[in-house]
Amino acid sequence: MNMEVLRETNFDFIGEKKTGKVRDIYIQPDRLVLITTDRHSSFDRVIAHIPWKGQVLNEISAWWFEATKDIVPNHVLAVPDPNVTVGKKMKVVPVEAVMRGYLTGVTDTAIWTRYSGGMRTFGDLTLPDGLKKNTKLPQPVFDPTTKEDTHDRAISTDQMIEEGLITAKLLAKVKDTATKLFLRGQDIAARQGLILVDTKYEFGTDENGELVLIDEIHTPDSSRYWQMEGYEASLENGTEPKSFDKEFLRLWFKENCDPYKDATLPDAPPELVEELSRRYIQMYEQITGETFVPGELPVIPRMERNLKEYAA
Protein backbone atom coordinates (compact mmCIF):
# COMPACT_ATOMS: atom_id res chain seq x y z
CA MET A 1 0.00 0.00 0.00
CA ASN A 2 1.33 3.41 -0.93
CA MET A 3 2.46 5.25 2.20
CA GLU A 4 1.85 8.93 1.53
CA VAL A 5 1.01 10.90 4.69
CA LEU A 6 -1.05 14.02 5.23
CA ARG A 7 1.11 16.21 7.47
CA GLU A 8 -0.73 19.52 7.15
CA THR A 9 -2.99 21.53 4.90
CA ASN A 10 -2.92 25.16 3.81
CA PHE A 11 -6.15 25.86 1.97
CA ASP A 12 -6.54 29.64 2.02
CA PHE A 13 -9.82 29.47 0.08
CA ILE A 14 -11.91 27.81 2.81
CA GLY A 15 -11.43 30.26 5.66
CA GLU A 16 -9.11 31.06 8.53
CA LYS A 17 -7.12 28.06 9.76
CA LYS A 18 -6.73 26.95 13.34
CA THR A 19 -4.26 24.12 13.88
CA GLY A 20 -5.08 21.49 16.48
CA LYS A 21 -2.91 18.52 17.47
CA VAL A 22 -4.39 16.25 14.84
CA ARG A 23 -6.83 18.43 12.93
CA ASP A 24 -6.67 21.52 10.80
CA ILE A 25 -9.87 23.47 11.36
CA TYR A 26 -11.05 26.11 8.91
CA ILE A 27 -13.49 28.60 10.34
CA GLN A 28 -16.37 29.98 8.30
CA PRO A 29 -19.24 32.22 9.51
CA ASP A 30 -21.64 29.34 10.13
CA ARG A 31 -19.58 26.21 9.41
CA LEU A 32 -16.32 24.52 10.30
CA VAL A 33 -14.29 22.51 7.82
CA LEU A 34 -12.53 19.85 9.90
CA ILE A 35 -9.59 18.12 8.25
CA THR A 36 -8.15 15.13 10.08
CA THR A 37 -4.45 14.77 9.25
CA ASP A 38 -2.11 11.84 9.85
CA ARG A 39 -0.35 13.65 12.69
CA HIS A 40 0.12 11.47 15.75
CA SER A 41 0.38 13.35 19.00
CA SER A 42 1.77 12.29 22.35
CA PHE A 43 3.68 14.10 25.14
CA ASP A 44 1.80 17.23 24.00
CA ARG A 45 3.54 17.26 20.64
CA VAL A 46 3.45 15.55 17.25
CA ILE A 47 5.71 12.48 17.38
CA ALA A 48 4.96 10.83 14.02
CA HIS A 49 2.75 10.76 10.95
CA ILE A 50 0.75 7.57 10.51
CA PRO A 51 -0.46 6.70 6.98
CA TRP A 52 -4.27 6.59 6.67
CA LYS A 53 -4.82 7.49 10.33
CA GLY A 54 -6.66 10.72 9.47
CA GLN A 55 -8.97 8.98 7.04
CA VAL A 56 -9.68 6.19 9.56
CA LEU A 57 -10.58 8.64 12.32
CA ASN A 58 -12.72 10.82 10.07
CA GLU A 59 -14.61 7.90 8.57
CA ILE A 60 -15.16 6.07 11.88
CA SER A 61 -16.66 9.27 13.30
CA ALA A 62 -18.88 9.72 10.25
CA TRP A 63 -20.03 6.11 10.64
CA TRP A 64 -20.92 6.56 14.33
CA PHE A 65 -22.59 9.95 13.79
CA GLU A 66 -24.88 8.18 11.33
CA ALA A 67 -25.50 5.28 13.75
CA THR A 68 -26.52 7.59 16.63
CA LYS A 69 -28.40 10.45 14.97
CA ASP A 70 -31.72 9.13 16.30
CA ILE A 71 -30.40 9.73 19.86
CA VAL A 72 -29.09 13.26 19.33
CA PRO A 73 -28.61 15.49 16.26
CA ASN A 74 -24.97 16.03 15.27
CA HIS A 75 -23.02 18.79 13.56
CA VAL A 76 -22.27 16.93 10.31
CA LEU A 77 -23.36 18.77 7.16
CA ALA A 78 -21.24 16.73 4.73
CA VAL A 79 -18.26 14.39 4.43
CA PRO A 80 -16.95 15.61 1.06
CA ASP A 81 -13.60 13.81 1.31
CA PRO A 82 -12.22 10.79 3.23
CA ASN A 83 -10.31 13.17 5.54
CA VAL A 84 -12.87 15.97 5.79
CA THR A 85 -16.05 16.68 7.73
CA VAL A 86 -17.97 19.90 7.22
CA GLY A 87 -19.84 20.72 10.41
CA LYS A 88 -22.37 23.32 11.46
CA LYS A 89 -20.84 25.82 13.86
CA MET A 90 -22.23 25.45 17.38
CA LYS A 91 -21.86 27.18 20.69
CA VAL A 92 -19.57 24.76 22.52
CA VAL A 93 -20.73 23.33 25.86
CA PRO A 94 -17.63 23.82 28.10
CA VAL A 95 -17.89 20.35 29.64
CA GLU A 96 -16.30 17.20 28.32
CA ALA A 97 -18.73 14.32 28.79
CA VAL A 98 -16.55 11.41 29.89
CA MET A 99 -18.30 8.04 30.14
CA ARG A 100 -16.69 5.10 31.92
CA GLY A 101 -17.90 1.52 31.71
CA TYR A 102 -15.06 -0.33 33.43
CA LEU A 103 -12.84 0.11 36.48
CA THR A 104 -9.61 0.83 34.64
CA GLY A 105 -6.95 3.34 33.61
CA VAL A 106 -3.57 4.53 34.86
CA THR A 107 -3.70 8.35 34.77
CA ASP A 108 -4.49 10.51 37.81
CA THR A 109 -8.05 11.09 36.65
CA ALA A 110 -8.67 7.41 35.75
CA ILE A 111 -11.38 5.73 37.77
CA TRP A 112 -9.13 2.81 38.79
CA THR A 113 -6.46 5.22 40.11
CA ARG A 114 -9.05 7.03 42.23
CA TYR A 115 -10.65 3.76 43.37
CA SER A 116 -7.24 2.34 44.41
CA GLY A 117 -6.68 5.56 46.33
CA GLY A 118 -9.79 4.89 48.43
CA MET A 119 -12.47 6.77 46.51
CA ARG A 120 -15.75 4.86 46.28
CA THR A 121 -18.35 7.27 44.89
CA PHE A 122 -18.25 8.27 41.23
CA GLY A 123 -21.15 10.37 39.98
CA ASP A 124 -24.27 8.61 41.23
CA LEU A 125 -22.56 5.24 41.59
CA THR A 126 -21.05 3.97 44.83
CA LEU A 127 -18.78 0.97 44.47
CA PRO A 128 -18.07 -1.72 47.07
CA ASP A 129 -14.54 -2.48 48.35
CA GLY A 130 -12.38 -5.20 46.87
CA LEU A 131 -13.13 -4.87 43.16
CA LYS A 132 -10.49 -6.03 40.70
CA LYS A 133 -8.98 -3.77 38.05
CA ASN A 134 -10.84 -3.89 34.69
CA THR A 135 -14.12 -5.08 36.25
CA LYS A 136 -17.26 -3.99 34.42
CA LEU A 137 -19.12 -1.31 36.37
CA PRO A 138 -22.74 -2.10 37.36
CA GLN A 139 -23.77 0.85 35.20
CA PRO A 140 -21.80 3.36 33.13
CA VAL A 141 -20.52 6.38 35.05
CA PHE A 142 -20.88 9.93 33.76
CA ASP A 143 -17.61 11.50 34.92
CA PRO A 144 -17.35 14.92 33.25
CA THR A 145 -14.33 17.23 33.19
CA THR A 146 -14.18 20.89 32.28
CA LYS A 147 -13.01 21.75 28.79
CA GLU A 148 -10.27 24.33 29.08
CA ASP A 149 -7.40 25.48 26.91
CA THR A 150 -4.73 24.63 29.47
CA HIS A 151 -5.94 21.18 30.55
CA ASP A 152 -9.19 19.56 31.57
CA ARG A 153 -10.08 19.62 35.26
CA ALA A 154 -12.08 16.91 36.96
CA ILE A 155 -14.51 18.83 39.17
CA SER A 156 -17.85 17.83 40.62
CA THR A 157 -21.01 18.50 38.68
CA ASP A 158 -22.18 20.77 41.54
CA GLN A 159 -19.02 22.86 41.14
CA MET A 160 -19.61 23.11 37.39
CA ILE A 161 -23.06 24.54 38.04
CA GLU A 162 -21.80 26.83 40.84
CA GLU A 163 -19.02 28.21 38.61
CA GLY A 164 -21.63 28.97 35.96
CA LEU A 165 -19.99 26.70 33.37
CA ILE A 166 -23.31 25.03 32.65
CA THR A 167 -26.92 25.15 33.88
CA ALA A 168 -28.30 22.24 35.89
CA LYS A 169 -30.87 21.62 33.16
CA LEU A 170 -28.33 21.43 30.33
CA LEU A 171 -25.99 19.26 32.41
CA ALA A 172 -28.84 16.79 33.04
CA LYS A 173 -29.47 16.68 29.29
CA VAL A 174 -25.75 16.14 28.56
CA LYS A 175 -25.63 13.31 31.08
CA ASP A 176 -28.73 11.60 29.73
CA THR A 177 -27.56 11.93 26.10
CA ALA A 178 -23.97 10.80 26.82
CA THR A 179 -25.29 7.75 28.68
CA LYS A 180 -27.58 6.78 25.80
CA LEU A 181 -24.77 7.26 23.26
CA PHE A 182 -22.41 5.15 25.34
CA LEU A 183 -24.90 2.30 25.77
CA ARG A 184 -25.62 2.34 22.03
CA GLY A 185 -21.86 2.34 21.36
CA GLN A 186 -21.29 -0.61 23.69
CA ASP A 187 -24.15 -2.51 22.09
CA ILE A 188 -22.91 -2.02 18.51
CA ALA A 189 -19.26 -2.67 19.48
CA ALA A 190 -20.25 -5.93 21.20
CA ARG A 191 -21.71 -7.22 17.93
CA GLN A 192 -18.25 -6.69 16.38
CA GLY A 193 -16.46 -8.51 19.20
CA LEU A 194 -15.37 -5.29 20.90
CA ILE A 195 -15.87 -3.79 24.34
CA LEU A 196 -16.28 -0.01 24.40
CA VAL A 197 -14.56 0.65 27.72
CA ASP A 198 -14.72 4.43 28.04
CA THR A 199 -15.05 7.46 25.83
CA LYS A 200 -15.58 11.20 25.76
CA TYR A 201 -18.15 13.29 23.92
CA GLU A 202 -18.25 16.96 23.10
CA PHE A 203 -21.48 18.84 22.69
CA GLY A 204 -22.62 22.16 21.37
CA THR A 205 -25.95 23.96 21.33
CA ASP A 206 -27.65 25.24 18.20
CA GLU A 207 -29.43 28.57 17.65
CA ASN A 208 -32.47 27.23 19.56
CA GLY A 209 -30.38 26.06 22.51
CA GLU A 210 -30.84 22.40 21.54
CA LEU A 211 -28.06 19.92 22.31
CA VAL A 212 -25.95 18.75 19.34
CA LEU A 213 -23.10 16.21 19.26
CA ILE A 214 -19.91 17.72 17.78
CA ASP A 215 -16.21 16.90 17.30
CA GLU A 216 -15.73 13.11 16.99
CA ILE A 217 -17.42 9.98 18.30
CA HIS A 218 -16.20 6.51 19.34
CA THR A 219 -12.89 6.74 17.44
CA PRO A 220 -9.89 4.76 18.70
CA ASP A 221 -8.44 8.14 19.76
CA SER A 222 -11.41 9.35 21.83
CA SER A 223 -12.32 5.93 23.18
CA ARG A 224 -10.76 2.85 24.72
CA TYR A 225 -11.66 -0.46 23.10
CA TRP A 226 -10.84 -3.98 24.27
CA GLN A 227 -11.26 -7.21 22.35
CA MET A 228 -14.09 -9.23 23.87
CA GLU A 229 -12.20 -12.42 23.17
CA GLY A 230 -10.05 -13.28 26.19
CA TYR A 231 -11.48 -10.51 28.39
CA GLU A 232 -12.92 -12.88 31.03
CA ALA A 233 -9.67 -14.86 31.18
CA SER A 234 -7.60 -11.70 31.59
CA LEU A 235 -9.86 -10.59 34.46
CA GLU A 236 -9.40 -13.98 36.13
CA ASN A 237 -5.62 -13.99 35.90
CA GLY A 238 -5.04 -10.27 36.44
CA THR A 239 -3.52 -9.49 33.03
CA GLU A 240 -4.50 -6.59 30.80
CA PRO A 241 -7.23 -7.22 28.20
CA LYS A 242 -6.23 -7.19 24.54
CA SER A 243 -6.71 -3.66 23.31
CA PHE A 244 -6.11 -1.35 20.40
CA ASP A 245 -2.64 -0.44 21.53
CA LYS A 246 -0.71 2.59 20.35
CA GLU A 247 1.41 2.68 23.49
CA PHE A 248 4.32 0.86 21.79
CA LEU A 249 5.17 4.00 19.79
CA ARG A 250 5.14 6.19 22.92
CA LEU A 251 7.40 3.70 24.70
CA TRP A 252 9.91 3.74 21.83
CA PHE A 253 10.20 7.52 22.15
CA LYS A 254 10.56 7.33 25.94
CA GLU A 255 13.39 4.83 25.51
CA ASN A 256 15.17 6.72 22.72
CA CYS A 257 14.94 10.38 23.76
CA ASP A 258 13.35 12.75 26.25
CA PRO A 259 10.08 13.47 24.43
CA TYR A 260 9.13 16.17 26.92
CA LYS A 261 12.37 18.15 26.73
CA ASP A 262 14.28 17.45 23.51
CA ALA A 263 13.82 20.21 20.93
CA THR A 264 13.83 17.76 18.04
CA LEU A 265 12.85 14.12 18.19
CA PRO A 266 14.32 11.21 16.25
CA ASP A 267 12.19 9.79 13.43
CA ALA A 268 9.95 6.93 14.49
CA PRO A 269 11.14 3.61 13.02
CA PRO A 270 9.25 2.91 9.75
CA GLU A 271 8.23 -0.58 10.88
CA LEU A 272 6.53 0.85 14.00
CA VAL A 273 4.77 3.52 11.94
CA GLU A 274 3.58 0.84 9.52
CA GLU A 275 2.37 -1.38 12.35
CA LEU A 276 0.37 1.47 13.89
CA SER A 277 -1.15 2.28 10.50
CA ARG A 278 -2.16 -1.38 10.15
CA ARG A 279 -3.80 -1.31 13.58
CA TYR A 280 -5.82 1.82 12.80
CA ILE A 281 -7.11 0.21 9.60
CA GLN A 282 -7.90 -3.01 11.48
CA MET A 283 -9.91 -1.00 14.05
CA TYR A 284 -11.82 0.73 11.26
CA GLU A 285 -12.75 -2.62 9.76
CA GLN A 286 -13.68 -4.25 13.04
CA ILE A 287 -15.78 -1.32 14.31
CA THR A 288 -17.67 -0.66 11.10
CA GLY A 289 -17.68 -4.18 9.67
CA GLU A 290 -16.64 -2.61 6.35
CA THR A 291 -13.48 -2.99 4.26
CA PHE A 292 -11.19 0.03 4.41
CA VAL A 293 -10.85 1.74 1.03
CA PRO A 294 -7.85 4.11 0.96
CA GLY A 295 -8.56 7.57 -0.46
CA GLU A 296 -7.19 8.45 -3.87
CA LEU A 297 -3.60 9.77 -4.00
CA PRO A 298 -2.04 12.32 -4.10
CA VAL A 299 -4.10 13.54 -1.21
CA ILE A 300 -3.80 17.37 -1.39
CA PRO A 301 -5.04 17.77 -5.00
CA ARG A 302 -7.89 15.37 -4.22
CA MET A 303 -8.94 17.42 -1.20
CA GLU A 304 -8.71 20.65 -3.16
CA ARG A 305 -11.13 19.26 -5.73
CA ASN A 306 -13.50 17.93 -3.07
CA LEU A 307 -13.50 21.21 -1.12
CA LYS A 308 -14.12 23.56 -4.05
CA GLU A 309 -17.80 23.99 -3.26
CA TYR A 310 -16.98 24.88 0.37
CA ALA A 311 -14.96 27.97 -0.50
CA ALA A 312 -15.52 30.62 2.15
pLDDT at 152: 67
For 18-27, write each residue's pLDDT tens digit. Answer: 999 999 999 9
Q: Which amino acid is located at 161 in the chain?
A: I
pLDDT at residue 1 greater than cutoff 80: no
**84 CB contacts (<8 Å, ≥6 apart)?**
33, 34, 35, 36, 58, 303, 306, 307
| Residue boundaries of the structural domains of the chain | 92-237
Look at residues 271, 214, 286 and name the one whose alpha carbon lies nearest to residue 3: 271
> According to the model, what pLDDT value does residue 148 have?
76
Single-letter code of the amino acid located at 179: T
34 three-class SS: strand
**pLDDT the model gives residue 109:** 87
Residues whose CB falls within 8 Å of the CB of residue 51, separated by 6 or more in sequence, listed in order? 1, 3, 4, 5, 38, 273, 274, 277
Indicate the helix (H) or strand (E) that contains 24.
strand 23-27
Q: How many CB atoms lie within 10 A of CB 139?
A: 12
Average pLDDT over residues 186-201: 98
As a whole number, the mean pLDDT across the chain is 96
pLDDT digits 0-9 by tens, 69-120:
999 999 999 999 999 999 999 999 999 999 999 999 998 889 999 999 999 9
pLDDT the model gives residue 2? 65
CATH code: domain 92-237 is: 3.30.470.20
Q: Provide the 8-state DSSP code for 277.
A: H
Cα dist from 118 to 132, 248, 286, whole Å = 13, 30, 37
CB 109 within 8 A of CB 53: no
